A and B are shown apart, each in its own frame.
Chain A
Amino acid sequence: DGGITQSPKYLFRKEGQNVTLSCEQNLNHDAMYWYRQDPGQGLRLIYYSQIVNDFQKGDIAEGYSVSREKKESFPLTVTSAQKNPTAFYLCASSMGTSGTEQYFGPGTRLTVT
C-alpha cells in the first residue's frame, strides 16, 4: 500500500513544549514538504527537502525545525518559539520539486493550550 502517512491524527500539547510531527512516505519520492493550514489561509509552506540531508526554508519557517536523515522520513518539530502553533499540518511528497505531481498525507491537527 503506497502513500504518505502522518501520525498522530490529533495531537495536544501544553504551551512551551516542543512537539514532533511524523511524516513517512513509501513512494520513493525525492522531495518532501511541510505545510501549515489555518482556516481561510490556504496552504503555507514551512520547509521542504529535495534530497536527504538537505532542506530549505519555506515562507513561514520561524519556530519550526526539520530533519531529513532518510529518504522516506521528514519529521517536523514545532518549537516553543512558534507563537501560534495550533493548526492543521500537512506533509506532502513528489518525485521532483518543480512541475511534478505532489501527493499529500492525511494531516495532523495540533492543538496547543
Chain B
Amino acid sequence: QQQVKQSPQSLIVQKGGIPIINCAYENTAFDYFPWYQQFPGKGPALLIAIRPDVSEKKEGRFTISFNKSAKQFSLHIMDSQPGDSATYFCAASPMNSGNTPLVFGKGTRLSVIA
C-alpha cells in the first residue's frame, strides 16, 4: 500500500528524444507527487510536483502527466539533452493526513546520448 513502483530502471535516449518515466501507486490517500533529479555524488533536487486536481503540469521541458483513475503518473522530458543525464525519482505522500513522509520509487537512470 505504501509502495511507489517506478519503471524503467534505466533508459537510454538520443539527444532530442522524449524519455518517459512511469510511476504507479496503490494508496489512494496519496495526493502529492513530486519528481526529483539527482546527479552523481549530489543530493536529489526537486524538479516538478503535481497534485491530483490537474492531469498535467509543465515546467520548461519537464511535464508530469497524472492519471488518477489508473493511479499512475509519469515524467516526460521534451527535447532531451546530454545534461539531463541523471537519476530521476518519483515520490508520493498524502496531504494533511497525519505525518507520512514521502515514499520514493527506486529511481530511473537516464542517459541522453549525443
Contacts and interface: CB of A to CB of B under 8 A. Distances in A.
The finding on whether chains A and B are genuine partners in a shared complex, rather than unrelated, reads: yes
A98 B104 contact: no
B93 A98 contact: yes
Given A42-B89, A43-B89, A98 B95 contact: yes
A107 interface: yes
A61 to B, nearest CB: 13
A31 B31 CA distance: 19
Given A33-B101, A42-B104, A99 B43 contact: no
Contacts of A58: 101
Contacts of B94: 98-99
A97 B99 contact: yes
Interface of B: 9, 31-32, 34, 36, 41-46, 49, 89, 93-102, 104-107
Interface of A: 4, 6, 31, 33, 40-43, 45, 48, 50, 56, 58, 90, 92, 96-107, 109
